[in-house]
Chain A
Amino acid sequence: MNKILLYFILFLSSNVFADQDKTINLIVENCKSCHNLNKQVTKKIPDMNNLEKEEFIRLMTKYKNDKDNSVMNRISRVFTDNDILKIADKIYGKK
């Protein structure tokens, strides 16, 4: 395999966001660009306010693994499963 490609895949598969809590906070701040996390301001983007944490994790994992090239697939495909759990913790709280 092309060496550069291999490095690139390694780069992507090792946790791209360094898995730090503060980084997760910033990822969530970026989610808010489309999803207002306090109230529903648009009907054109799925509202995350009424989701349960488990449902959020299920949906994010589905977006990440689907190969449909939707905007959420493209945004979530850089996350590890652990990133998704941490994002969920951040948004919906630790159980």
Chain B
Amino acid sequence: MEKNRSGRRKFISNTITTLAFLFLANTFLLKRLNSKTRPKIVIVGLGIGGATCLQYLNKISNFVDIIVIEKQNVYQTGPLSNLVIGNILQRKDICFKINKKKYKNVKFIFENVKRIDVENKSVVFSKNLKVKFDFLILSPGISYKNDILKGYNVSDKKNIPHCWDGESNITQFKKRLRDLENNSKIIITSPDYPYRCPPAPYERATLIANYQRKLNKKVKILILDSKNSFTKQENYFREWQINFRDEIEWIPRSKGGKVIFYDQKKNLVKNSDGQIFKGDFIHIIPEQKAASIFFDSELLNDGKDWCEINPISFEINRFKDIYAVGDSIDAWAMPKSAFSANSQAKILAINLINKILEKDYIDPVFLNTCYSFSKEDRAFSISAWYRLNMTKDKIISLGSSESNVYANDNDRKLEAQHAIGWYETMVNDLFM
């Protein structure tokens, strides 16, 4: 017992030392900096990427001004949202308000940012109010392409909510799912790459099947896919074979999965071969692009859908002192996930501190692990480490690997526990 405690003490002191290498050892420098000017750092978006930057930058909040701007008072996470749809968790379990007590020196503004005034280094709100910045971090997530699927308008409230961001009405989605009659047909369209959380459409289909079975309803779920393969495919196929053989059917692009037309009134979609699919519940997962603020502020290169950044500093190409992180960036080999956004944001914050202190940047190392559930007690994952290529202008994968397709029940259960454990650690660190 005593041994453990001493180990723990040592452990904690060393954890503090780890941070000290960055922060405390630089107190002298920071004080000098403080006496000249206090740099003003503005963070837009308090989701996973923004909150991670905040967590790290908060450690120097005595020496810099930090302002966080977020349009929503309550943040609903993407991770575990499919478990809410599948009635395993409740919505309140995935909703968080930032614990301001943890961030005493930080100013929070809950407003929608209209655009960035690059020339004047300021953030512009809807009522044309402005906040100036020295350094700006953007982590506003994604927006949707409205011109890919004829007949589909992302903001049409009569559609089944797409539930691909924290603003979507997950409660309404569940109500419409619950209201389905026996023998209903559910159609889910899965978008083309790149999009937020590549395995999530298949996790959603699986957890909907699981939920309907608990309601004693027979349903047929058709996944119409814009792609010919998808991440963790073999693991999903295995889970469907074991548990949902009669419920779920996947149609790849090559077999007519690419949907090009949607008729809300007639409840149908049409594929590129003109084949019609009728459904009682048509769930379109829209094609995606970076958040609208990038387009409205002209921060993207011509014709690009995602923000191009320097992979060491995360500074946006061509825009000095403006940084972007998370789902809105083109992160080369890294998928758009909360785990990735969290890992990237740590590097952004550490290297921004290095920049402020006029120290060298550290070459980044990133990690991603993405869990998927097929039932409350069954999950599997994919993970990979990432680093820079030789010319240091790209993020490359060191090779991703997945859970064993033939994993036994215990292994699936253990991964389900790890998935929840990862989530609890992350939201505790960021929001609580």
Contacts and interface: CB of A to CB of B under 8 A. Distances in A.
Interface stretch (B87-95, B169-177, B319-327, B419-427): B419-427
B398 A33 contact: no
Nearest to B426: A33
| Contact count band on A | 35 or more
A44 interface: yes
B342 A41 contact: no
Given A34-B422, A69-B404, A53 B7 contact: yes
B420 A44 contact: yes
Interface string B386-424: 010000000000110101100100010011011011101
Contacts of B422: 33-34, 45
Contacts of A74: 383, 401
B362 A42 contact: no
A17 B365 contact: yes
A27 B420 CA distance: 22
Given A38-B15, A93-B10, A16 B387 contact: yes
Interface residues of B, number: 49
Nearest to B404: A69
A75 B385 contact: yes
Given A23-B365, A49-B8, A42 B420 contact: yes
Given A22-B362, A36-B425, A90-B18, A30 B418 contact: no
A29 B366 CA distance: 9
Contacts of A57: none
Contacts of A69: 401, 403-404, 407
B401 A30 contact: no
Contacts of B347: 26
Give the secondary structure class of A's interface: loop
Given A26-B364, A34-B425, A90 B14 contact: yes
Nearest to A46: B421
A35 to B, nearest CB: 7
B428 A36 contact: yes
A41 B428 contact: yes
Contacts of A51: 7, 11
B367 interface: yes
B14 A34 contact: no
A78 B346 CA distance: 21
Contacts of B363: 18, 20, 22-23
B7 A52 contact: yes
Given A78-B385, A78-B398, A92 B366 contact: no
B10 A12 contact: no
Contacts of B387: 16-17
Given A36-B428, A36-B429, A30 B346 contact: yes
19 contacts: A16-B385, A16-B387, A22-B363, A33-B343, A33-B422, A33-B425, A34-B425, A37-B15, A38-B12, A42-B424, A44-B418, A45-B425, A50-B4, A51-B11, A53-B10, A74-B383, A75-B385, A78-B399, A92-B14
Given A33-B343, A42-B425, A90-B14, 14 more contacts: A12-B398, A16-B398, A23-B363, A26-B350, A28-B18, A30-B365, A30-B366, A32-B425, A33-B425, A45-B422, A51-B7, A68-B411, A70-B414, A71-B403
Interface of B: 3-4, 7-8, 10-15, 17-18, 21, 339, 342-343, 346-347, 350, 362-367, 369, 381, 383, 385, 387, 398-399, 401, 403-404, 407, 411, 414-415, 417-418, 420-422, 424-426, 428-429
